[in-house]
Chains A and B, each alone.
Chain A
Amino acid sequence: MNLIIKYMAIAIVLLLLQSTFANFITLRGIAPDFLLIFVVVIALIEGRVTSMVYAFILGSIFDLASGGVFGLSSLSKVIGAFIAGFFFNPNKTQLTLGSYRFILIILFVSVIHNFIYFIVFVQGTEFNFWNTLLKYGIATAFYTTIVGVFIVLYFSRKYGVIKNV
């Protein structure tokens, strides 16, 4: 129960960060996806089901808060959480979170997440899907991955993974 409250608190803080603070660190309109990082971390610690529940709730609230297409973030984040769940291994959680593997997972999930997001997003608009994906999707994925490096540093210090790997 305590864990759920802890995750909820972190989720609310990240939601606020994503809706406000992310605007201050944008690079030519590109902002890192804190919520996706959280969803991936939950998927690696708690597994697919918990991660998808958080992904759905956070995605829906973020869509409402950001003024974006309602249901789009929840859809892409749920699929992102599902894919991140493939890397869930209760015996290797610390190793995964505190090493370069996490960075690769974040990059992979982020690319898939943005792929799905922009497939739906460009519908009914004059945006070219591949151009949009390359210009925003891939760039966002890399920016999110860079932020993910800090998560790796945090967990590697917490678990002392770097010394053990």
Chain B
Amino acid sequence: MRRFFTILVEFKEYFLLILFIILSLIFLSLNDNIQIKKIRTLTIGMIGYVQSTINIVPNIFDLKRENEILHKMNVALMDEVNKLREAKLENIRLRQLLKFREESKYTFVAADVIGKTLHLQKNTLTLNVGIKDGIKVNMPIVSPQGVVGKIIAVSNDYSVGQLLYNRDFRTSVKIQRSRVDGILAWDGGEFLIIKNVSKKQDVKIGDIVITSEYSNIFPPSLKVGTVISTSENELNLFKNIYVKPAVDFTVLEEVFIITAVPDTQKISLENKVARNK
């Protein structure tokens, strides 16, 4: 026995190592033990509490990498958001166009605006429809908001439209409320203008301007714009009426072309009478 203790003391480190290894192996075999699980849950809970209190300190080494990942993710998400926003806006526009088309009595050809000029004296827009689609010169171009212009040139696949903001554009219009007639044009200013309307005529700011029956190109009663102001000259019998177009040309992306051709019989008769005068 004494000899055993002598050996034990002499080799205590090795005995201790073996003891701890055996204990560790027992622990390893007890991993699924319910008591061990409960002790573990308790310990993790305590450590978790300490951890949560110091969680405000960031991982200084991972911050840069995390920042880069978030930056890339942000760019990707921004791109996604922009696409979704575009899709939503397109959806709204197409719904408006569809509604306009269903409610209208005219036959239309839908077209995308593939080019436009807004800062020249003769502003135009280019559309992705042409002769193949049944488009002809002088056909009216409209949008759900109102009159856009008219076709002035056509090729097989494309056509060019003359906008209301074009020095060469003229059309007969009338004030919807008071039925006052006039010729709408553009003199290069901010708004469209109806010139030479008698001072006595009843025109008020806010009145809706529509196409009249006298027009050889536009069907009657299409909205053109709203009276924004009037100007009178004391030395003159007439007044000018300034009209803000119903269509916002800067955001115009889709339009309709009304496939109604002018009534040639009516036009030729009017021309004949005019010549006889």
Q: Is the CB of B39 within 8 A of A69?
A: no
28 contacts between A and B (CB under 8 A): A16-B50, A19-B50, A20-B47, A21-B54, A23-B51, A23-B59, A24-B54, A24-B57, A49-B16, A53-B16, A55-B20, A56-B24, A63-B27, A65-B44, A65-B47, A67-B40, A69-B28, A70-B28, A70-B36, A71-B23, A71-B25, A71-B29, A71-B31, A74-B27, A78-B17, A78-B24, A79-B17, A120-B28
Is A113's beta carbon under 8 Å from chain B? no
Is A147's beta carbon under 8 Å from chain B? no
Contacts of B43 in A (CB 8 A): 61, 64-65
Is A85's beta carbon under 8 Å from chain B? yes
Is B270's beta carbon under 8 Å from chain A? no
Extra contacts, 4 of them, besides A65-B44, A70-B30, A71-B30 (Cβ < 8 A), are: A66-B47, A69-B28, A75-B25, A78-B24
Q: Is the CB of B13 within 8 A of A85?
A: yes
Q: Is the CB of A70 within 8 A of B61?
A: no
Residue of B nearest to A53 (CB): B16
When A and B form their complex, which 4 residue pairs have the shortest distance between CB atoms, in order from nearest?
Answer: A71-B27, A75-B24, A71-B28, A64-B43
Is A27's beta carbon under 8 Å from chain B? yes
B60 to A: closest C-beta gap in Å: 7
Selected from B40, B51, B60, the residue in CB contact (under 8 A) with A19 is B51
Contacts of B263 in A (CB 8 A): none
Cα(A75)–Cα(B82), bound, Å? 56
Q: Is the CB of A24 within 8 A of B47?
A: no
Q: Is the CB of A20 within 8 A of B59?
A: no
Describe A's contact surface by its main secondary structure: helix
Contacts of B30 in A (CB 8 A): 70-71
Q: Is the CB of B20 within 8 A of A74?
A: yes
Contacts of B39 in A (CB 8 A): 64
Cα(A85)–Cα(B57), bound, Å? 36
Q: Is the CB of B61 within 8 A of A26?
A: yes
Residue of A nearest to B40 (CB): A64
Cα(A65)–Cα(B45), bound, Å? 8
Name the residue in B26, B29, B47 with the highest tally of chain A Cβ atoms < 10 Å from its Cβ. B47
B→A interface (CB under 8 Å)? 12-13, 16-17, 20-21, 23-31, 36, 39-40, 43-44, 46-47, 50-51, 54, 57-62
Cα(A109)–Cα(B68), bound, Å? 36
| A20-35 interface (Cβ within 8 A of B) | 20-21, 23-27
In which size bucket is the chain A interface?
Answer: 20 to 34
Cα(A141)–Cα(B44), bound, Å? 25
A→B interface (CB under 8 Å)? 16, 19-21, 23-27, 48-49, 52-53, 55-56, 59-61, 63-67, 69-72, 74-75, 78-79, 82, 85, 120
Given A24-B58, A49-B12, A85-B13, answer yes or no on A70-B20 (Cβ-Cβ < 8 Å). no
Cα(A23)–Cα(B54), bound, Å? 11
A128 to B: closest C-beta gap in Å: 21
Cα(A24)–Cα(B60), bound, Å? 7
Contacts of B31 in A (CB 8 A): 69-71
Q: Is the CB of B13 within 8 A of A52?
A: yes
Cα(A19)–Cα(B55), bound, Å? 12
Cα(A78)–Cα(B24), bound, Å? 9
Cα(A66)–Cα(B44), bound, Å? 7
Contacts of A23 in B (CB 8 A): 51, 59
A63 to B: closest C-beta gap in Å: 8
Given A26-B59, A49-B13, A70-B40, answer yes or no on A75-B21 (Cβ-Cβ < 8 Å). yes
Cα(A83)–Cα(B16), bound, Å? 13
Q: Is the CB of A52 within 8 A of B60?
A: no
Residue of A nearest to B53 (CB): A20
Name the residue in A60, A67, A71, A72 with the highest tally of chain B Cβ atoms < 10 Å from its Cβ. A71
Q: Is the CB of A70 within 8 A of B12?
A: no
Cα(A117)–Cα(B25), bound, Å? 12
